[in-house]
Amino acid sequence: MRKKVTVVGAGNVGATAAMRVAEKELADVVLLDVLEGVPAGKALDLAEAAPIEGHDCRIVGCTNQYQEAEGSDIVIITAGIPRKPGMSRDDLLSTNMRIMRTVVSEVAAVAPKSILIIVSNPLDAMCHVAYEASGFPKERVIGMAGVLDSARFRAFIAMELNVSVENIHAFVLGGHGDTMVPISRYSTVAGIPITELISPDRLAAIEKRTREGGAEIVGLLKTGSAYYAPASGAVEMTEAILKDKKKILACAAYLSGEYGIKDLFVGVPVKLGARGVEDIIEIKLNEGERKALNHSAESVRKLVEDMKRLG
Ligand SMILES: NC(=O)c1ccc[n+]([C@@H]2O[C@H](COP(=O)([O-])OP(=O)(O)OC[C@H]3O[C@@H](n4cnc5c(N)ncnc54)[C@H](O)[C@@H]3O)[C@@H](O)[C@H]2O)c1
């Protein structure tokens, strides 16, 4: 049986994710959007690349026809508006909250067994909306942010040391915002802690660049935000689930007391497999790291409360 992945939002992140899913031959893809023509056009364009890229995944695009998503194994949700220069992720809150609610209700009706990978910002808050609107168990609602933030951290470490990105393991925990927490102590280059290879000053600069990684790209692009790496992040999670890899990745997961945090989506290391979040890995944090994680979680909680006020 072929696997099926639906991508809602055929914009920059969504279309790139659809392309990567197909080119990695992970699943057939349905690309959905509110726009007329755009999802169908992008899907057709991708299907026409298939003979050159050498894959047989079927890609279809449609406008608001959620029946096409029926039976999806995974639904990646990128629907929403992206950040513009000077705009914080939180500014997106009220618009994207309403979009997320509509999209997830439609998805849950046709693909009740699917696993949701949420990408739209503000990420952690959107996971809450998706969790509530879907009624899915917490294991099947997962936010993509930590994979991207960790990839940025890894890329910057590789640039600093002029070594292969493949040698680098790094974690960024917390909410997907300015309060995210790069955990240098658990980040390694071929098993060697980066704290032994990079001076504290340089490391602080790399952590800062990681925290501001999204804004750096928004500032350069001027219109819209990053999408190649975010799409890669969503597809790495998709692959881990479809192939039941039991891969440990930093993802926004619903915490029920882990890390001392309750009833909140926050970025932590999780084990991703066929059932979605199969485990939450609790790593030991020192006082500074724990404080930073709590601070980050509090900023997520504030957004969740703001959403309640917005209704
Ligand atoms: N989690 C992360 O790390 C991360 C990284 C990058 C972008 N994002 C977020 O992902 C989202 C998408 O970013 P993008 O660059 O692809 O934006 P984009 O504007 O290129 O695409 C968004 C698409 O969503 C569609 N859309 C809007 N309302 C919809 C609805 N009700 N149903 C279906 N589709 C709808 C739009 O028509 C558009 O095609 C944004 O919210 C952005 O902030 C998150």
Cα–Cα nearest to 74, from 41, 26, 33: 26
Q: Give me ligand 1 centre to Cα 105, in Å.
A: 17
Q: What pTM was computed for the model?
A: 0.97
C-beta 99 within 6 A of ligand 1: yes
pLDDT of residue 90: 67
Distances (CA, A) of 303 to 9, 133, 273: 23, 17, 29
> To test ligand 1's pocket by mutation, which of 91, 96, 104, 119 has the most ligand atoms within 8 angstroms of CB?
119
Sheet holding 262-273, edge to edge: 59-63, 28-33, 4-8, 74-77, 115-118, 141-143, 247-256, 262-273, 276-280
Q: Give me ligand 1 centre to Cα 12, in Å.
A: 7
Q: Give me ligand 1 centre to Cα 151, in Å.
A: 20
Distances (CA, A) of 67 to 28, 108, 140, 222, 300: 15, 11, 20, 36, 33
C-beta 102 within 6 A of ligand 1: yes
Q: What averages of pLDDT result for each successive group of 10 residues across the chain (311 residues)?
A: 96 98 98 98 98 98 98 97 71 89 98 98 95 98 97 98 97 90 94 96 96 94 93 98 98 97 96 98 95 94 90 78
Residue in the structure block whose two tokens are 């979040």: 277
pLDDT of residue 89: 62
pLDDT of residue 237: 98
Which residues are catalytic, by number?
176
In this structure, which residue's CA is closest to atom 15 in ligand 1? 12
pLDDT of residue 86: 74
Dihedral of CA 197/144/279/238: which sign?
negative
In this structure, which residue's CA is closest to atom 43 in ligand 1? 82
In this structure, which residue's CA is closest to atom 10 in ligand 1? 120
Relative to the CA of 99, which ligand 1 atom is closest? 31
In this structure, which residue's CA is closest to atom 21 in ligand 1? 11
pLDDT of residue 239: 98
pLDDT of residue 91: 74
Rounded Cα distance, 158 and 92, in Å = 32
The answer to whether residues 266 and 298 touch, using CB atoms and an 8 Å cutoff, is no
C-beta 267 within 6 A of ligand 1: no
278 φ/ψ sector (left φ>0, alpha ψ -120 to 50, else beta): alpha
In this structure, the number of other CB atoms found within 10 A of the CB of residue 256 comes to 11
Cα 188 to the chain's mean position, in Å?
22
Q: Give me ligand 1 centre to Cα 112, in Å.
A: 22
pLDDT of residue 20: 98
C-beta 80 within 6 A of ligand 1: yes
Maximum CA extent, the chain: 54
C-beta 121 within 6 A of ligand 1: yes
pLDDT of residue 223: 85
- Those residues whose C-beta lies under 8 Å from the C-beta of residue 217, and which sit 6 or more positions away, are 225, 226
In this structure, which residue's CA is closest to atom 35 in ligand 1? 79
Kind and range of the H or E element at 171?
A: strand 168-173
